[in-house]
Amino acid sequence: MKRLRVAIDQLAPRLGDIEANVAAHRDSITWACRQKADLLVFPELSLTGYLVMGMVSRIGLGAADPVLTELARSAGSLGVILGFVERAADGRFYNTAACLKDGAVRAVQRKMFLPNYGMFDEKRFFAEGDRLAPFDTPWGRTGILICYDALHPAAAYLHEQAGAQLIVTIAASPARGIGPEGSMTGREIFRIAHRAHSRLLGLPTVFVNRVGTEEGLTFWGGSQVVDPQGDVLCELPEYEPARDICEIDLDATARARTRFPHLKEGRPDFILQELWRLRMGPRFPLGRPWDSAT
């Protein structure tokens, strides 16, 4: 049986204090290594805090910045997924996740969908990512979603279609929106989405949400690891820093997809055709546009 030993840490980053946050990451890396974890996952923007706003120019890091490479070296063979403010070569800033392993930054994923309503103002400070890029690891191809990305069903589906065998969602989701029974609607929609990705796509998912308070926002935590059947394997408490180790049976994906083989009839060409037609308008002819000379 092939297993992935994953560590999850829902810490509370200090806003704008990279030095303190790096120290917290190092402490968790040491703990995860002692626990013989294969992968350690932190929340969204774990190196900086969430409400970075006008601080982006001061705290932005290049994808090969020494802060990241030194953390990678300290992690050694442990895989680490964390969040940071990326300063791109063209001067734009991105809300980005990095996977560190074997002493180097092995992959980065920029946040695709930036919330820009109510308390959220991400488009004012960040540029949108333009590519979903699952990457190969010893435990299988992995796709990363960053918080709001997980609420767009196409993003998880595209990761799966690109061969992802594990989806990791890192988040900084604040407590907001009281439902009719007193539940937090923001919390519930993430939990529904997270388990739905596992159940419908037949793969394990890891969701790590931060805790703590920033400028009046309180982040609810409640991180989870879910198996391909949609069952919760591990869950952290709400509203307090916590970390834990969970084992994922990687062979369970094949069993889940054998039991429910609907993904084999996914028809990506048909989906692409219909998206193209919707984009171009109802008068666009049926058929595959890339097969037409016009």
Within 8 A by CB and 6+ apart from 181, the residues are: none
Q: With 90 as the cut, is the pLDDT of residue 294 above it? A: no
Q: With 70 as the cut, is the pLDDT of residue 288 above it? A: no
Share of the chain above pLDDT 90, in %: 75
CATH of domain 3-259: 3.60.110.10
CA 123 to CA 241: how far, in whole Å?
28
Q: Pick 280 or 174 by higher pLDDT.
A: 174
CB contact at 8 A, 13 and 210: yes
Please name every residue paired with 166 in a beta bridge, in sequence order, or none if there are none. Answer: 142
Domain ranges of the chain: 3-259, 266-294
- Coil, helix or strand for 188? helix
- Reported as half-sphere exposure (CB side, CA atoms, 13 A), residue 288 has a value of 8
Q: With 50 as the cut, is the pLDDT of residue 293 above it? A: no
Q: With 60 as the cut, is the pLDDT of residue 181 above it? A: no
Whether the model pTM is above 0.85: yes
